[in-house]
Amino acid sequence: MFSGIVAAMGTLLERSAQGGGYRLRIAVGALDLRDVSIGDSIAVNGCCLTVVEQEADSFRADVSNETLRCTTLGSMEAGRRVNLEKSMRLGDRLGGHLVSGHVDGIGTLLRRENDGDSLRLTLRAPDSLARYIARKGCICIDGASLTVNEVNGTDFSVNIIPHTRAETIIGHYREGQQVNLEADLLARYLERLLQAGAEH
């Protein structure tokens, strides 16, 4: 599990074919790997990946074709910046919201505009995901936990404070860019409970 609080920005160094998918090598920037071991999880733009090789300033992770199809990792080229977060430990402070690292779909940035000191982003979610997005609820965008300001059909908006803009890749977004989205886990569980209740 993750908290959606991005710890560092890294860089995709290379992507090489590995079995039926790819192996990614990612430079970790300021992320401290001293407490990371082979088999541990690191979220890369919100995708939970398993460390299979590790160096002082980078790690490698295998990505299946399914993950490549369902996330923006499939279109990334070497040199692309990424958001990074190590998995939480029991007892860690939960600064954002509970994030599984299992991307639900790919969204598209429609507009970016300044809103005082903040950056206001308007995005479009896939139809299948939009029903889980609620005003003042949580959404995870490329691994960053954010609060939804407004919802209009499949479109929704978030405000990015200066700290988040500076410390994550979100500050570099351009209109038309695709991003990884993960809906609030509570919304999915609530839907399932309601479905189960209706069946009995």
Q: Which CATH architecture has domain 8-86?
A: Beta Barrel (2.40)
Domain ranges of the chain: 8-86, 105-199
Q: Do domains 8-86 and 105-199 have the same CATH topology?
A: yes
Q: Which tokens belong to 177?
A: 């860019």
Note the pLDDT tens digit of each residue in 135-178.
999 999 999 999 999 999 999 999 999 999 999 999 999 999 99
In tens, the pLDDT along 79-118 reads 999 999 999 887 777 777 889 999 999 999 999 999 999 9
CATH ID of 105-199, from 2.40.30.20, 2.60.98.20, 1.10.10.10, 3.40.430.10: 2.40.30.20
Phi-psi region of 69 (alpha: psi -120 to 50; beta: other; left: phi over 0): alpha
pTM of the predicted model as reported, rounded to 2 decimal places: 0.93
Task: Note the maximum CA span of the chain.
Answer: 55
